[in-house]
Amino acid sequence: MSMMRLFDILVKAFVPKNYIDRVIYSKNYILSLGYIGKSFECPICKGHFRKFLPWGRIQRKNAMCPRCNSLERHRLIFRYLQDRTDFFKSNLKILHFAPELCLQGIFKLLPNLEYISADLNDPSAKMKMDITDIRFDDNTFDCVLCSHVLEHVVDDHKAMRELYRVLKPKGWAILQVPIMSERTFEAETIKSPEQRLKYFGQEDHVRIYGLDYKNRLENAGFIVKLDPYLHEQSDDIINRYRLVPENEPKDYIYFCFKP
């Protein structure tokens, strides 16, 4: 573990949650000055850099913004919200599960949003909450954001039903997971971190999602649109903002509606 990663963990453990993002961002801003350049741009923090930082179990080149720590999927979601939705313009009540610091720091300051972040373990989230037991009434939120969470949840069917329940009629959700195969693979007998690493690719994953993920969302009640947003972007845009890992296929946005 790098010293910078250890610093971020200690900040989350001991700094009051209202100040966590400020402390980490201030540290990152100073360090990022050494990366200023013209090769890459982060749409979230607006920084321009000669390179991004490597990141991942198998390290990906130019993956993480040195200023706001955004990864490819965070920059993709941010650009999508700008280009395809009214997220930054309309008055919306938002539920954001497992909020990424790079996004939460911006979203909670937007005057048009009533923004609520939630997580079971992350102290930077506004509310501690289990995604399978969301403590809000039916039809509460205009929008739900939930990226790379459900692959960690044992009862993902219950989680999807809960996300659907708290969404208002005509509301929408972006529910991203890593799609790794044709069909979802999971097994109750695979429980230990070592087994999960072997079969699911990460110690805290409980399945590998396949293309039938869309069917799971529809079974929870959602109308699901697979938005080819990434496929419509030029290579220059994708590379400049690094919206997808190098040499990996372009993903779809799982844009979900409640009738």
Rounded Cα gap, residues 106 and 103, in angstroms: 5
CB 255 within 8 A of CB 172: yes
Pick the CATH number of 72-257 from 3.40.50.150, 2.60.120.260, 3.30.420.40, 3.40.50.10480: 3.40.50.150
CA distance 242 to 53: 11
SS3 122: coil
Residues 6+ apart with CB under 8 A from 181: 208, 209, 210, 211
> CA-based angle 29:30:32, to the nearest 5?
65
How far apart (Å, rounded) are the C-alpha atoms in residues 195 and 41? 38
Predicted structure pTM score: 0.87
Which amino acid type is present at position 255? F
CA angle 129, 210, 191 (to 5 degrees): 55
In order along its 259 residues, the chain shows pLDDT tens digits of 455 566 566 656 665 666 565 666 566 656 666 668 889 999 999 999 999 998 888 889 999 999 999 999 999 999 999 999 999 999 999 999 999 989 999 999 999 999 999 999 988 899 999 999 999 999 999 999 999 999 999 999 999 999 999 999 999 999 999 999 999 999 989 999 999 989 998 899 999 999 999 999 999 999 999 999 999 999 999 999 999 998 788 889 999 999 9
